[in-house]
Amino acid sequence: MAQVLEFKLPDLGEGLTEAEIVRWLVEVGDVVAIDQPVVEVETAKAMVEVPCPYGGVVTARFGEEGTELPVGAPLLTVAVGAPEGSSGSGEDSGSDPESAGGSGNVLVGYGTGAPAARRRRIRPDRLDRSVTEAPVSGAPVVKAPVLEAPVVKVLAADASVSEGPVPVVSPLVRRLARQHDIDLRRLAGSGPDGLILRADVDRAIRTAEETATATARAAQAPVQAQVPAAAPNGVAAAVDAERIPLRGVRGAVADKLSRSRTEIPDATCWVDADATELMAVRAAMNAATGPSAGPKVSVLALLARICTAALARFPELNSTVDTEAREIVRLSGVHLGFAAQTERGLVVPVVRDAHTRNAESIGAEIARLTELARTGKLSPAQLTGGTFTLNNYGVFGVDGSTPIINHPEAAMLGVGRIMPKPWVHQGELAVRQVVQLSLTFDHRVCDGGTAGGFLRYVADCVEQPAVLLRTL
């Protein structure tokens, strides 16, 4: 007898707690093999194909494309054939995944030897009782104190009202009731022999006020429902305004940039540099033939190599701040991130151990990661762990910017477009290839002197690439 196994969204690592279904790769009724990808999901860091650890027939899918599911939520169910030697009774439906055609791989939350959880049917009436009667396991049940509201005894409208004298002694009580239109004949006193006390009138006044307030709110509710809510900035929201959920890559970028602006006291300095010599050196590299020929080297690769040389001289900028311990953590290796704009949004792939690579190696890794970013196949590990970021916003045709630091890093170098501009060269006015360089840094890790020294060294290498020969 076949058993139905439930496959839940596994923990995809890197602290991710949810994922959005981008595309189902199987339909209900399809036969899937063990470890066959069944769904493509998008996390805050990458697009991932999720393999199913069971083999069998898909009996149900949970969630349409575009639905965001938390880790641990059901993805689909698979009907798996009964293992050999099974008696066919329903009591063995909780056999382990291996015997039921489970995966040999380990997904977080899906071991290879742990038995699958048994699923029992619960009658609705028992479910209702369990919800209302059974306490949550491990959590103490605390009975909330019931506050008894003071009871005001008021005679029913159709009750006979005595025409005789009202049992009130105090003139103050009579005047108080008269001021608030309280009919003393309809009050039952709480004093001796039904005597109406001031406390009885006070309670009647409060009850009347609460009743009037509730009636007014009920009357205003339909009117308020027709008034459009005001936008956060106080401007009335347009009725036809479009609301776009901040999730996936866009949500991750929003969270990281907001955290950066909140936690990091950043400052920016910039300088214009004559990149004519750098462009000439690049052209010579790429035009080389024979034994010295090699892959084409991009401007970004040369700038990345300049950054690693500058960070070796100014290691303060290759660090992070541990706010809880109140310590600056200076990092030994340079894992260089570079901003890449894709159809899914802005991502920052990381070149590992960039300090050990030359310009050619860095360029090859940048090209490989860029291609993965364009196809949405970057893994979360390739998008995390950076220590310094290089942002070439010149590709958008702009000259300068004030970059936002990629939290928890301490600095980011921004590069504008390289374009012909009038420039004083060797005492004469000439047209040169000029670029603007911007450095945004965390003022907690260093002062302006260190940041300025870093930026000036980068500009010197751009203007005179021979400076780099000292570190090769």
Q: Which residues are catalytic?
A: 443, 447
Distance from the first to the final alpha carbon of the chain = 69
Element at 221 (helix H, strand E): helix 198-226
Identity (one letter) of the amino acid at 458? V
* Sequence-ordered strand ranges (E) for 298-372: 319-322, 327-330, 336-338, 340-342, 345-347, 350-351
Token pair belonging to 388: 């310094």
Query: Any idea which residue has 């950043």 for tokens?
Result: 266
Contact 312, 330 (CB under 8 A): no
Distance, CA of 392 to CA of 39 (rounded, Å): 34
Distance of alpha carbon 424 from the chain centroid? 48
Token pair belonging to 46: 């990458």
- Residue from 316, 319, 378, 321 nearest 351 by CA: 378
Distance, CA of 461 to CA of 469 (rounded, Å): 10
- Residue from 379, 387, 401, 367 nearest 442 by CA: 387
Q: What's the maximum distance between 2 C-alpha atoms anywhere in the chain? A: 123
Angle between helices 276-287 and 299-313 (to 10 degrees): 120
Burial class, 431, CB count within 10 angstroms (exposed 0-12 / middle 13-18 / buried 19+): exposed
Contact 434, 279 (CB under 8 A): no
Residue 51 CB partners (closer than 8 Å, separation 6+): 35, 36, 37, 38, 103, 105, 107
Backbone phi and psi for residue 102, each to the nearest 5 degrees, phi listed first: -80, 170
Token pair belonging to 197: 């006390």
- Residue from 411, 359, 414 nearest 386 by CA: 411
Residue 342 CB partners (closer than 8 Å, separation 6+): 373, 374, 376
Token pair belonging to 450: 């260190």
Residue 115 CB partners (closer than 8 Å, separation 6+): 94, 95, 96, 97
Identity (one letter) of the amino acid at 161? V
What DSSP character marks residue 269? E
